[in-house]
C-alpha cells in the first residue's frame, strides 16, 4: 500500500503536470506584469494616453478572455492539450510583441484583446489536465499546487518587473517578457497530443452509427438555450440580490486595476522599488491570512467575515488618497490586504451557498459572465473618473461600491456556516 501511495503522489508531479504548472506560472507572471505595472505607466509616459484610453485597453483583455471562456472546454476535448495551449500561448506571445513595438493606442487595445484570447485556455487546460492525472483522491492536493503556481505568478510579475523597468526602461522590460513567452512556447510544444485509439473499419462504422443516433436524440440549439435560461431564472428565486452583488464585487476590483500604478508613480512619485514594497505589503498580507481565514469561515460562518472584510477594505480605499505619510500609506495597504483576505474565502462561500447542487452546471456559467462584466466595465469607468474628476474619484467609487456590497449582503440569506468551494 505504501509504494502504491508513493506512486500516486509522484504522478502529481509528472512531466505533464509540471509542464502545465510552468506555463501557468510564467503566463500569469507576464500578464500581471503587463496589466498592473507596465501598461498603465508606459501608455501614459511614452504614448501620452489618457486614463480613459488605458481603462479601455485593459478592459479589452477581459473581453477577450470572456468571449472564449465557454468554448475552450469543447476545444480541449477535440483538439487536445498541445494544440489548444500552444494556440493560446502563441497568441499571448504575439500580444506581447504587438505591445512592445506599438506606438498607437489602437494597436495596444488589439494587443490586450489578443492577450485575453491567448490566456483564455490557460485555466481550463491546467485544471482539466492536472485533475485527470491526479484522479479523485488527489484532486485537493493538485488544486492547491495549481493555486500556488497561479498566486506566485500573479504576485511576482508586477513586483519583479519593477526592478527591470527602473526609470522608464520599458524596452528591456518588454524584452524580458518576450523571453518569458519564448520559454512558455517551448514548454507548450512538449505537451502531449490528443490520444488516438486504433480502430477497425467495423468499429468506425459502429461509432458513426452511434453518433448519428445521438444527433437524432440531441436537442436543438434553441432548446438547449431555452433550458439554460429556465435554469438561470429558477436560480434567481434563491436571492436575486446575488446578481448585482457579484457584478459590484468584481466592478470594485476592476476600478482599481488601471489606476493603482498611475497613482503610485504620478501622484505619490514612488520609485519602482517603493512601488514593489507597496505591492508586497498588500499582496503578502492577503496570502498569509487567506488560509486561516478560510478555516475560520468554515467554523464561524460567512456573515461576520463579510462584514469585517468589506468594512476594512472600504475604509482603506476611502482614506487612501487623503493620506500622504508613507507609514500610514503602508498601513492602509496592509489593511486593504487584510480586508480582502476576509472577503475572498467568505465571498466564495456565499456564492457556493447560493448555487443548488442540482443546478450548479447550468448556473455557474451565468455567474462567471456577470463577474466578467464587472471586470470589463470597471477599468473603463475608472479611466473616465480619473480624467474628469481626478485621482480621488476612482478610489472613492471603489470604496463606496464596497459599502453598497456591505449593505446588500445583509439582505442575502446565507447558511450559518459557509462551505468554501
Within this chain, do residues 124 and 176 fall inside the same structural domain, yes or no? yes
pLDDT digits (tens, 9 = 90+) for 94-123: 999 998 888 887 888 889 889 988 888 887
Within this chain, do residues 279 and 380 fall inside the same structural domain, yes or no? yes
Query: In the prediction, which pLDDT does 309 show?
Result: 92
pLDDT digits (tens, 9 = 90+) for 324-366: 888 898 899 999 988 988 887 788 777 766 665 555 544 555 6
pLDDT digits (tens, 9 = 90+) for 161-209: 887 876 667 888 889 999 999 999 998 888 876 544 344 444 445 445 4
Which residues constitute the domain of residue 118?
Answer: 1-194
Within this chain, do residues 243 and 146 fall inside the same structural domain, yes or no? no
Within this chain, do residues 89 and 219 fall inside the same structural domain, yes or no? no
Within this chain, do residues 357 and 408 fall inside the same structural domain, yes or no? yes
109 assigned to some structural domain = yes
206 assigned to some structural domain = no
pLDDT digits (tens, 9 = 90+) for 287-316: 778 767 777 877 788 888 899 999 999 999
Within this chain, do residues 119 and 231 fall inside the same structural domain, yes or no? no
Within this chain, do residues 162 and 283 fall inside the same structural domain, yes or no? no
205 assigned to some structural domain = no
Q: What is the mean pLDDT of residues 245-249?
A: 89
187 assigned to some structural domain = yes
Q: What is the mean pLDDT of residues 241-257?
A: 87
Three-class SS of the chain: CHHHHHHHHHHCCCHHHHHHHHHHHHHHHHHHHHHHHHHHHHHHHCCCCCHHHHHHHHHHHHHHHHHHHCCHHHHHHHHHHHHHHHHHHHHHHHHHHHHHHCCCHHHHHHHHHHHHHHHCCHHHHHHHHHHHHHCHHHHHHHHHHHHHHHHHHHHHHHHHHHHHHCCCCHHHHHHHHHHHHHHHHHHHCCCCCCCCCCCCHHHHHHHHHHHHHHHHHCCCHHHHHHHHHHHHHHHCCCCCCHHHHHHHHHHHHHHHCCCHHHHHHHHCCCCHHHHHHHHHHHHHHHHHHHHHHHHHHHHHCCHHHHHHHHHHHHHHHHHHCCCCCHHHHHHHHHHHHHHHHHHHHHHHHHHHHHCCHHHHHHHHHHHHHHHHHHHHHHHHHHHHHHHHHCCHHHHHHHHHHHHHHHHHHHHCCCCCCCCCC
Within this chain, do residues 148 and 286 fall inside the same structural domain, yes or no? no
Looking at 135, 162, 194, the residue that finishes a domain is 194
Within this chain, do residues 294 and 222 fall inside the same structural domain, yes or no? yes
Q: What is the mean pLDDT of residues 403-408?
A: 92
84 assigned to some structural domain = yes
Within this chain, do residues 332 and 240 fall inside the same structural domain, yes or no? yes
Looking at 138, 160, 194, the residue that finishes a domain is 194
Within this chain, do residues 279 and 334 fall inside the same structural domain, yes or no? yes
202 assigned to some structural domain = no
Number of domains in the chain: 2
200 assigned to some structural domain = no
- Quote the percentage of the chain above a pLDDT of 70: 71
Within this chain, do residues 172 and 238 fall inside the same structural domain, yes or no? no
CATH number at residue 264: 1.20.1250.20
201 assigned to some structural domain = no
Amino acid at each position: 500500500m505504501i509504494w502504491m501511495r508513493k506512486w500516486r503522489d509522484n504522478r502529481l508531479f509528472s512531466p505533464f503536470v509540471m509542464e502545465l504548472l510552468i506555463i501557468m506560472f510564467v503566463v500569469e507572471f507576464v500578464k500581471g506584469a503587463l496589466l498592473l505595472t507596465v501598461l498603465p505607466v508606459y501608455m501614459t509616459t511614452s504614448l501620452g494616453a489618457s486614463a480613459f484610453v488605458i481603462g479601455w485597453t485593459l478592459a479589452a483583455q477581459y473581453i477577450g478572455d470572456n468571449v472564449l471562456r465557454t468554448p475552450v472546454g469543447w476545444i480541449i476535448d477535440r483538439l487536445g492539450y498541445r494544440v489548444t495551449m500552444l494556440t493560446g500561448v502563441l497568441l499571448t506571445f504575439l500580444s506581447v510583441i504587438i505591445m512592445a513595438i506599438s506606438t498607437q493606442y489602437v494597436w495596444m487595445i488589439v494587443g490586450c484583446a489578443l492577450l485575453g484570447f491567448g490566456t483564455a485556455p490557460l485555466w481550463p487546460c491546467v485544471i482539466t489536465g492536472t485533475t485527470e492525472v491526479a484522479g479523485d483522491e488527489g484532486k485537493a492536493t493538485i488544486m492547491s499546487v495549481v493555486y500556488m503556481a497561479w498566486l506566485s505568478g500573479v504576485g511576482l510579475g508586477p513586483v519583479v518587473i519593477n526592478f527591470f523597468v527602473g526609470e522608464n526602461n520599458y524596452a528591456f522590460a518588454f524584452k524580458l517578457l518576450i523571453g518569458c513567452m519564448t520559454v512558455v512556447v517551448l514548454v507548450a510544444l512538449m505537451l502531449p497530443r490528443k490520444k488516438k485509439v486504433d480502430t477497425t473499419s467495423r468499429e468506425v462504422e459502429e461509432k458513426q452509427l452511434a453518433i448519428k443516433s445521438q444527433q437524432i436524440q440531441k436537442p436543438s440549439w434553441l432548446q438547449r438555450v431555452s433550458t439554460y435560461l429556465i435554469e438561470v431564472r429558477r436560480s434567481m428565486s434563491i436571492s436575486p440580490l446575488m446578481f448585482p452583488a457579484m457584478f459590484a464585487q468584481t466592478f470594485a476590483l476592476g476600478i482599481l486595476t488601471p489606476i493603482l500604478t498611475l497613482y503610485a508613480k504620478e501622484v505619490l512619485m514612488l520609485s519602482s522599488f517603493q512601488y514593489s514594497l507597496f505591492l508586497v505589503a498588500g499582496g503578502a498580507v492577503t496570502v498569509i491570512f487567506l488560509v486561516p481565514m478560510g478555516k475560520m469561515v468554515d467554523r464561524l460562518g460567512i456573515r461576520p467575515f463579510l462584514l469585517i472584510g468589506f468594512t476594512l477594505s472600504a475604509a482603506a480605499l476611502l482614506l487612501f488618497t487623503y493620506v500622504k505619510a508613507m507609514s500610514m500609506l503602508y498601513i492602509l495597504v496592509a489593511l486593504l490586504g487584510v480586508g480582502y483576505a476576509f472577503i475572498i474565502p467568505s465571498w466564495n462561500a456565499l456564492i457556493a451557498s447560493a448555487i443548488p447542487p442540482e443546478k450548479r452546471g447550468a448556473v455557474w456559467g451565468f455567474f462567471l459572465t456577470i463577474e466578467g462584466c464587472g471586470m470589463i466595465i470597471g477599468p473603463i469607468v475608472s479611466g473616465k473618473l480619473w480624467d474628469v474628476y481626478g485621482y480621488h474619484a476612482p478610489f472613492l467609487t471603489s470604496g463606496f461600491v464596497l459599502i453598497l456590497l456591505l449593505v446588500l449582503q445583509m439582505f442575502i440569506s446565507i447558511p450559518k456556516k459557509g462551505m468554501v468551494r
